[in-house]
């Protein structure tokens, strides 16, 4: 459900951004007649898209359930809601500055969503993922090869820091459309690729976690949750 709404939201927001960009360009280039014609023609689709935009957005905000949703989400909501009256007045009064400002605010909100950060700094989002989860920082910061390196402890601490907020301590929490790890049939290769690249509401950790860290957390989920998948997997190469 969450993932379906997420896809709908992305589609609707993209349509909305394109439509408002076209209208803004028409206004900026003084094509008032064409603008009025387009606005009139698409008045009903515009209403449907705007309503879907808000309804899916509110659903996602309420049900993401990650504590990390906090700060960036508020900035995004303020940008979106500030842009609405600006657009209404801007297009009504044919005020170029207001219409442009409104479009820029929506585009900024889109950038925040993609990076989950008001400053478009993805690292801040990853840093905030742990939320209220207790993390053993010394273990999370271990490096393979160091004295007393323990891959199990390393993986567990990394899981608490980066994954638990959505997947839960037992792998079953299912926040933001997360899948039950205990029911997963993924091979080690498949889950490693998924951790690197992400999918739907799950962020890709490549570039934030090192290869060693991804290996440790992947090993952890396979010993702890993803039972037996390695036995069914085609021979490792
Ligand atoms: C913001 C929430 C979120 C975080 C944080 C997160 N995940 Fe996920 N995870 C998801 C979602 C959503 C899916 C389902 C993706 C899809 O639609 O297939 C998923 C799916 C998975 C799957 C695949 C399960 C299957 O069989 O399809 C694995 C494995 C996994 N996550 C591991 C991790 C690990 C390891 C971490 C931490 C490094 C992590 N996740 C962090 C949300 C999250």
Q: What is the pLDDT of residue 230?
A: 47
pLDDT in tens, 96-107: 999 999 999 999
**What are 138-189's pLDDT values in tens digits?**
999 999 999 999 999 999 999 999 999 899 999 999 888 899 999 999 999 9
Mean pLDDT, residues 187-206: 94
Is the model's pLDDT at 223 over the cut of 60?
yes
Contact criterion met (CB below 8 Å) for 165 and 155: no
- Give the number of other Cβ atoms within 10 Å of residue 237's Cβ: 4
Residue 233, C-beta contacts closer than 8 angstroms, at least 6 positions apart: 187, 188, 189
Question: Is the separation of the CB atoms in 25 and 66 below 8 Å?
Answer: no
The C-alpha angle with vertex 217 and arms to 213 and 223, in degrees rounded to 5, equals 145
Q: Is the model's pLDDT at 10 over the cut of 50?
A: yes
- Pick the residue whose CA is nearest to atom 34 on ligand 1: 163
131, 179, 229, best to mutate for ligand 1 pocket (most atoms within 8 Å of CB): 179
Candidates 135, 189, 202, 220: which one to mutate for ligand 1, based on the most atoms within 8 Å of Cβ?
Answer: 202
Using a pLDDT cut of 90, give the percent of the chain over it.
Answer: 69
Residue 197 Cα to ligand 1 middle (Å): 10
pLDDT of residue 234: 46
């Amino acid at each position: 459900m969450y993932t379906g709404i997420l896809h709908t939201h992305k589609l609707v927001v993209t349509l909305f951004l394109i439509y408002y960009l076209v209208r803004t360009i028409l206004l900026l280039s003084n094509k008032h007649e064409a603008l009025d014609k387009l606005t009139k023609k698409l008045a009903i689709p515009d209403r449907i898209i705007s309503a879907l935009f808000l309804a899916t957005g509110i659903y996602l905000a309420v049900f993401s359930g990650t504590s990390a949703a906090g700060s960036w989400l508020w900035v995004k909501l303020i940008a979106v809601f500030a842009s609405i009256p600006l657009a209404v007045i801007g297009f009504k009064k044919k005020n170029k500055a207001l219409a442009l400002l409104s479009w820029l605010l929506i585009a900024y909100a889109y950038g925040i969503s993609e990076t989950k950060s008001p400053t478009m700094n993805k690292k801040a989002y990853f840093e905030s993922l742990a939320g209220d989860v207790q993390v053993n920082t010394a273990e999370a910061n271990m490096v393979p090869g160091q004295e007393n390196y323990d891959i199990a402890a390393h993986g567990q601490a990394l899981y608490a820091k980066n994954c638990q907020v959505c997947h839960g301590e037992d792998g079953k929490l299912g926040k933001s459309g997360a899948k039950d790890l205990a029911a997963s049939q993924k091979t080690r290769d498949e889950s490693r690729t998924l951790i690197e690249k992400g999918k739907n509401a799950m962020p890709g950790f490549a570039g934030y976690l090192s290869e060693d860290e991804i290996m440790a957390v992947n090993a952890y989920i396979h010993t702890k949750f993803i039972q037996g998948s390695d036995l069914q997997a085609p021979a490792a190469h």
